[in-house]
Structure 1
Amino acid sequence: MELSIAALAGNLLAPTILFFILGLLAAVAKSDLSIPEGAAKIMSIYLLLAIGFKGGVAVAQSGIDAQLIAALGAGVVLSFVLPFAAYGLLRIMTKLDDLNAAAVAGHYGSISIVTFVTAVSLLEARGIASEGYLVAVAAVMEVPAIISALWIAARKGGVTAVDCSLFRHILGNGSIVLLIGSFAIGAITGEAGLNDLHPFIVVPFTGVLAVFLLDMGLSAGRSLLENRKDISIGLLGFGCVMPLVGALLGLALAKLVGLSAGGSFLLMVLSASASYIAVPAAMKLALPRAKSGIYLTLALGVTFPFNLTLGMPIYFLLANL
């Protein structure tokens, strides 16, 4: 595979990434461009369904083996460990108090499914194969990070109350349910199911992703503008450095498990991303005194754009070395 600067720059020139940049610029320019909330929700459902289903079909074709189990284990380990690395980095780079640092740290052990979907789309556009079961790895990386963040907060006296209802809320998150459910359906129906849904699952995927990333660009830009007073230079730096730390840890475990170059790239993307859906909902319940404007803006307004524009070309290069 050609590892030239031109090849890496091609990621930045993908239509999906350029639509994200368009949304970001429109938000910064305070344009009235917007995507209806209902339409954005439908696109989110479609993308989760499509990526989960295709991952399940890939597992049906390859079968369940030791490498799949090892990859799931690697995902759980990364999700548990990354919040501790993020917390340590926050204490060094920023002046955040213990409670807010713990809340932010939890986001960086969990994952951004939209970043993952974009990475999968880029690999498919370049004809690069990857392990389909990494969709399942993405799903198992949601909860462990929340547990780590709450443990850190509890050590600092920041948790008011944690009970079973919190974890029922997390496990019942619509994104997780849809991703795992569509993955299971794809694994059950296999190639025949993919053939039946091909015009729906495969053909419109890139176009839907482009419009959805346009909306994400708008959201990221507006979040930055609205909460810019809470985001210091140190926090901005953390939002760009922590993804690199996560990606390197992801690469180490990917090589240990024996993933392909494409699979290593995807695990790096998962490790580098930050949740802005499941974890914020959990933090609002468990750590209500933490400032949502800080952790949401970092995850969506700083790390998400960094990964889509600069991070993924770097991870792509490292995964192929």
Structure 2
Amino acid sequence: MQELNNRSANRATAGRRRWWKAACLAIVLTTVGQCVFWTTGAATAQEGEATAVSQVILGQALVKEAKAAPVSKSKSSDELKTRPIGTKVFKTIVEVEDPSAVKAGDLVDVSLVTIGGDHAHVEKILKKVVVHSVEPARGEQPEPAKPAEEGAGEAEDAVAEHGEPELYPTLVVGLQLDSSKLEKIRTADHQGALRLTPFIDHSNDGIVQSIVHNFVSNLFQPLLLFFFMGFAIPLLHVPFEFPKALYQSLTIYLLVAIGWHGGELMAALATSELAVAGGLAVVGFIVNAFIGVAATWILRTTTPMRRIDAVTVGSYYGSDSAGTFVTCLGILATLGILADSYMPVMLAVMEIPGCLVGLFLISRLRRQGMDPSGNMPGEPGYHDSVGKDSLDDDSSDPYAHDDSQKLVPKSVGAAAAAGAHEDGGILSPKILHEVFLNPGLFMLFGGLIVGFISGRQALVDPHVVEGPNNFFVMMFKGALCLFLLEMGITACRRLQDLKSAGIGFIVFGLLAPNLFALIGIVALHGYSMALGHHFHLGTYALMAVLCGAASYIAVPAVQRIAIPEASPTLPLAASLGLTFTWNVTLGIPIYIELAKFVTESLPVT
């Protein structure tokens, strides 16, 4: 009787705690909702007044001219509707070699020109930027520079009146830029002169030539050089260990930065664009779930792996890789290829299917008689004396069998399977918490929410996001370089785990990502054709790496809790040693060319 009373008291206490937690959560959600509503309402109320001016940002060189001739508010909406959502026009004075060759709609590269010593230093900072508008500088039509022998007298007069002549003619040019590029070009505009050169398009080359060009152009970029630098550390036996605390800090920073930037850009999207993003999230979830099942089937039919290990590796490929995603973002920024702003949401959503597919397939294996060491009937080392009753018997000794089999204790997942009838499902609250609220997912979603709310506020007061952008946007590539240094070290060390995996497993780790990436590209293009909505080329590339990459953060955490019977080394050896290395070197250029081929072969009408 006393025991029943205690149980009743405990249940009552637990009930009060649940109600208290629910009340606190409701208060937090209500407060956040009010903030979003307030900022959205304020932005909407001022949209008619602010749209004309806030979309055009003047460079440092035009500040004085802007005071004399302010931007007209009557000009705005219709003229700027042709710009992609999420971009702004940066208007400043730039140098051009041939002013007559620059016109609205052209693609150009932007370089920063600074004077050092006796010569000018030219550094290319942006590629493939769209020219929005072109105007003559100082109210005069610029003329191409004349040869020295024809205009020597005029040049001497100009030197006498104005000092040294300009190396290039100047124009007032408006450039279409997203937030990250906008911050970069504004900083460069303070440091020196901006110079435009025509963008050279290699898309008309053959697919092999384009892949080679992209690979060569990326090979000596800092991102890959840092990866190769880390890869060489174990090979050369350098006594260096990357600080674990620094790696964790970099991971947190990159996830929050991706979320922040994506949320900030999403704040400027129309409702129709957000609806497209929601549909794409559903498509991505289904595609990655299919990839998880397909990878498991391929491994079971082409390799001698245990069924539990095939399922575990398949679940890794049914998820995605934050490291590959951020590397692709860096490469796209280097190549000047645009991507839709809601792709960080896809990173968060497409991380979940692999976890769920793995847990579902593992639960089936347990019901079919898997022993505590993960062996199935018919597999070497299987102990047929282990049955369902032994799982339910708390007094059974999981180590009572031969020590050579290296048996492990019963896992949380096994306990969940055994208690399915009691709890009403195969997933325990602990596993569900790890799947949907793992640290990586929380940091990414948290950054998205904070960035979205701040972005809505920035529609009224742009200064709200200036400080965070300096940290999350300007420093992103530097942090990514250090992150790739650690990834190179880990990838090289994981290659040693492949010695006993077999040639089939190695071939899978190198070729399967290309198949899965193509599936992602085709699925995205099918969604694009169904809606009649055009996606940026960078969106196709990011979708490809989300489908073609394998997890090394989220799924290992779930495996540690729910599937400890599986090999902890084989999945990471494939995802890091093989697939990650392939994706960041050759994979991403190949995916870009595949996306070009698919979109050009089947244009969206």
TM-score bin, normalised by smaller chain: over 0.9
1:33 CA drift (Å) = 2.6
Q: Distance in 2 between matches of 1:30 and 1:40?
A: 20
SS at match of 1:289: coil
1:164 CA drift (Å) = 2.0
Q: Of the candidates 168, 181, 186, which is equivalent to residue 446 of structure 2?
A: 181
Counting only pairs closer than 5 Å after superposition, residues 252-263 of structure 1 correspond to structure 2 as: 252-258=522-528, 259-263=535-539
Once the two structures are superposed, residues 247-279 of structure 1 have per-residue CA deviations (whole angstroms, 9 ceiling, x without a partner) of 011101111232221101100010011001110
Q: Distance in 2 between matches of 1:97 and 1:215?
A: 31
Aligned to 1:211: 482
Q: Distance in 2 between matches of 1:144 and 1:176?
A: 13
Q: Of the candidates 521, 531, 554, which is equivalent to residue 278 of structure 1?
A: 554
CA contact (8 A) 1:99 1:290 kept: yes
2:417 paired with 1:152: no
Aligned to 1:220: 491
2:565 paired with 1:289: yes
Q: Which amino acid aligns with 1:32?
A: P
Aligned to 1:233: 503
Aligned to 1:71: 280
2:346 paired with 1:137: yes
2:202 paired with 1:2: yes
2:428 paired with 1:163: yes
1:11 CA drift (Å) = 2.4
CA contact (8 A) 2:498 2:570 kept: no
Q: Which amino acid aligns with 2:541?
A: F
Aligned to 1:251: 521
Q: Which amino acid aligns with 2:265?
A: A
2:235 paired with 1:22: no
1:8 CA drift (Å) = 4.0
Q: Distance in 1 between matches of 2:242 and 2:363?
A: 39
SS at match of 2:268: helix
Q: Of the candidates 285, 309, 312, which is equivalent to residue 585 of structure 2?
A: 309
**Structure with the higher strand share, 1 or 2:** 2
TM-score w.r.t. length of structure 2: 0.51
SS at match of 1:62: coil
Q: Distance in 1 between matches of 2:270 and 2:329?
A: 20
1:230 CA drift (Å) = 3.4
Q: Of the candidates 70, 78, 81, which is equivalent to residue 290 of structure 2?
A: 81
What is the number of residues matched between the two proteins?
320
CA contact (8 A) 1:48 1:175 kept: yes
Q: Distance in 2 between matches of 1:151 and 1:198?
A: 41
2:330 paired with 1:54: no
TM-score w.r.t. length of structure 1: 0.95
Q: Which amino acid aligns with 1:78?
A: V
CA contact (8 A) 1:115 1:304 kept: yes
CA contact (8 A) 2:311 2:361 kept: yes
Q: Distance in 1 between matches of 2:477 and 2:436?
A: 28
Q: Distance in 2 between matches of 1:21 and 1:272?
A: 21
Aligned to 2:466: 195
Once the two structures are superposed, residues 42-79 of structure 1 have per-residue CA deviations (whole angstroms, 9 ceiling, x without a partner) of 11111111111111111111234331112111111122
Q: Which amino acid aligns with 1:183?
A: L
Which structure is richer in relative contact order (CA contacts within 8 A, separation 6 or more)? 1
Q: Which amino acid aligns with 1:313?
A: P
Q: Of the candidates 240, 244, 248, which is equivalent to residue 37 of structure 1?
A: 244
Q: Distance in 2 between matches of 1:273 and 1:69?
A: 22
2:540 paired with 1:269: no
Moved over 4 A (4+): none
Q: Distance in 2 between matches of 1:320 and 1:84?
A: 28
1:80 CA drift (Å) = 1.2
Q: Which amino acid aligns with 2:335?
A: R
Larger gyration radius, structure 1 or structure 2: 2
Q: Which amino acid aligns with 1:141?
A: M
Q: Distance in 2 between matches of 1:62 and 1:86?
A: 36
Structure 1 gaps of 5+ residues are none
Q: Distance in 2 between matches of 1:10 and 1:197?
A: 31
Once the two structures are superposed, residues 130-168 of structure 1 have per-residue CA deviations (whole angstroms, 9 ceiling, x without a partner) of 111110011011222111122222333356234121011
**Structure with the higher helix share, 1 or 2:** 1
Q: Distance in 1 between matches of 2:481 and 2:271?
A: 33
Aligned to 1:118: 327
CA contact (8 A) 1:98 1:153 kept: no
Q: Of the candidates 104, 107, 129, which is equivalent to residue 313 of structure 2?
A: 104
RMSD of Structure 2 on Structure 1 (CA): 1.6
Q: Distance in 1 between matches of 2:544 and 2:267?
A: 24
Q: Distance in 1 between matches of 2:224 and 2:271?
A: 33
CA contact (8 A) 1:8 1:317 kept: no
Q: Distance in 1 between matches of 2:335 and 2:265?
A: 18
